[in-house]
Chain A
Amino acid sequence: MWTWFYKLASPPYVYGAAAALMPWFLGFALLAIGYGLIGGLVFAPPDYQQGDAFRIIYVHVPSAWLSEFIYTMMALAGGIALIWRIKVGHAVAAAAAPIGASFTLLALVTGSMWGKPMWGTYWAWDPRLTSELILLFLYVGVMSLRSAFEDPLRGDRAAALLAVVGAVNVPIIHYSVVWWNSLHQGATVAKLGKPSIAGSMLWPLLSMFVGFMLFFGAVLCLRLQGEVLNRERQSAWVREAVKS
C-alpha cells in the first residue's frame, strides 16, 4: 500500500495514470449523467409541494456537493504538498481549483433559479448561500494567489496555505442549515437514518452525483496531465510523453 502511495508522488506515474483513467471516467460519467437527467426530468414525479421546480435539484445538489468535495480535496493536496514537499500535490491543487470554482458557480446560479419560485427572491443573505459564495471567493483567491508570484513554487505554497486555511469554510457550509436559522432546507439525502426523499426521485439524484464525480475525475485527469507537463518540462521523461 505504501509503495502505491509513494508512486503517487512520482510525476511520470501520475501523468500515465491520469491519461489511462480519463476515458473511463468520462465514459461512465456521461452514462450516469444521461441516466440521471432522463430519470430526473422525465420519469420522477413532480414534488407535492414544489411541483416541477424541484427538478432543479438534479443539477443543483450534485454541483453543491462537488463544490465542497473539490475544495476539501484541494486543501488536502495543498496540505500534503506543504508538509511533505510533494510537488504533485501542488499540481493536483492547481488542476482542481478551476473545476471547483465552476461547480460552485453552477451551484449558486441554479440555487438562485430555484430560490425565485420557492422563496420569492433570487438571493438572500442566508448562511448557506453566503458561505457558498465565500467558497467561490476562496477558489478565485487560491487561483489568483498562485498566479500572482513570479516564482511558481512561492505561488504554489501561498495558494496551498490559503486553501488549507479556507477549509474551515467547508463544515460551515455543510452545517449552516443546522447552526443558524436558514431559508435553505435541511439535509434530505445525507442524513442519519432514512433519507426523506422517495426512491423514484433519489436514484436519478444519486446517479447525477456519481456522474458529476466521475466527470470531475475525467477533467482533473486532463488538467493534471497539463499541470505535470508544465512543471516537469525539463525532465527527461517528458520527451517520451510528448512524442505522440
Chain B
Amino acid sequence: MSSFWYMGGYARYVWPCVGFACVVLAWNLWSARRMLAGARLTAQRALAMRAAEAKT
C-alpha cells in the first residue's frame, strides 16, 4: 500500500496533480450551482417587485 502512495518516487508530483484536478472539478460544480441559485433568486425578486408594482 505504501508503494502505491510513494508512486515510484514521484509522489510529490503525481498527488498534487490529482488533488488540483479534484479542486478544479469541485470548484466548477460549486460555482455553477451558486451562479444558478443567484440567477433564480434575482429572477424571483424581479417577479416579486413587478407583482408589487402591479398592486399599487
Contact = CB atoms under 8 A, between A and B. Distances in A.
Interface of A: 26, 33, 37, 41-42, 46, 51-53, 55-56, 59-60, 63, 98-99, 102-103, 105-106, 109-110, 113-114, 116-117, 215, 218-219, 222-223, 225-227, 229-230, 233-234, 238-239, 241-242
Given A59-B21, A106-B21, A116 B13 contact: yes
A110 B17 contact: yes
Contact of A98 (B13, B16, B31, B36): B31
A223 B13 CA distance: 32
Given A102-B27, A117-B13, A219 B32 contact: yes
Contacts, number: 101
B18 interface: yes
Nearest to A56: B17
Contact of A41 (B18, B20, B42): B18
A113 B13 contact: yes
Contact of B39 (A98, A99, A116, A230): A230
A105 B17 CA distance: 12
B18 to A, nearest CB: 6
A223 B24 contact: no
B33 A105 contact: no
A53 B43 contact: no
Contacts of B8: 46, 51-53
Given A106-B20, A110-B17, A52 B7 contact: yes
Interface string B23-36: 01101110111011
Given A63-B21, A222-B36, A242 B44 contact: yes
Given A98-B31, A229-B40, A230-B42, A109 B20 contact: yes
